[in-house]
Amino acid sequence: MDVSEGFDRPSFHVDIDNVVNVKVGPDGLERTISIIIYYFPTDKNDYFKEILEVQDKLEKAFTENLVIRQGFVVFPEYISSVKVDGVLQTSFDIISLEYKPEEEADGESVFMMGHLNFETKQSKD
């Protein structure tokens, strides 16, 4: 990470570290994005309590699924935090599953198996 020293403290810097795409079926894509949040505490020499409080808040903030927009949700996984040279580094992966909508004969968009109908019959034993 290359952050110039001209920033105010306390401050955050967010970095995307890695992106992995995996095809799922004929029309799906699973995308894993690695995120690192750097937290620079108020005082670079006296930061222990402040870093613990911020670490707790960050880990709580990213334990729930994140709704980006209606119908598009990402799932944070593997949240971890370390302190390196007085800077808190909290990292996690977010996973999104994306599917290209199918089209019905009338042109209406259908999201994968959304309109399946099941019939059950009871056997006469």
Residue 106 lies in a domain: no
Q: Domain range for residue 42?
A: 11-99
Residue 104 lies in a domain: no
Phi, psi of 104 (to 5 degrees): -80, 170
Q: What is the pLDDT of residue 77?
A: 83
Residue 37 lies in a domain: yes
Q: What is the pLDDT of residue 6?
A: 74
Q: What is the pLDDT of residue 72?
A: 74
Q: Cα separation of 77 and 39, whole Å?
A: 19
Give the dihedral sign, CA 49/3/33/98.
positive
Residue 21 lies in a domain: yes
Q: What is the pLDDT of residue 123?
A: 46
Full pLDDT tens readout for the chain, 125 residues: 556 567 789 999 999 988 999 998 888 888 888 999 999 999 989 999 999 999 999 999 888 888 877 767 777 888 999 999 999 999 999 888 777 765 544 555 444 444 444 444 454 54
Report the number of distinct structural domains present in the chain: 1
Residue 82 lies in a domain: yes
Burial (CB count <10 Å: 0-12, 13-18, 19+), residue 119: exposed
Residue 84 lies in a domain: yes
Q: What is the pLDDT of residue 4?
A: 59
Instruction: Provide the whole-model pTM.
Output: 0.69
Residue 114 lies in a domain: no
Q: What is the CATH number of the domain that holds 87?
A: 3.30.2000.10
Q: What is the pLDDT of residue 29?
A: 86
**C-alpha distances out from residue 64 to 36, 54, 89, 108, Å:** 17, 17, 19, 32
Residue 54 lies in a domain: yes
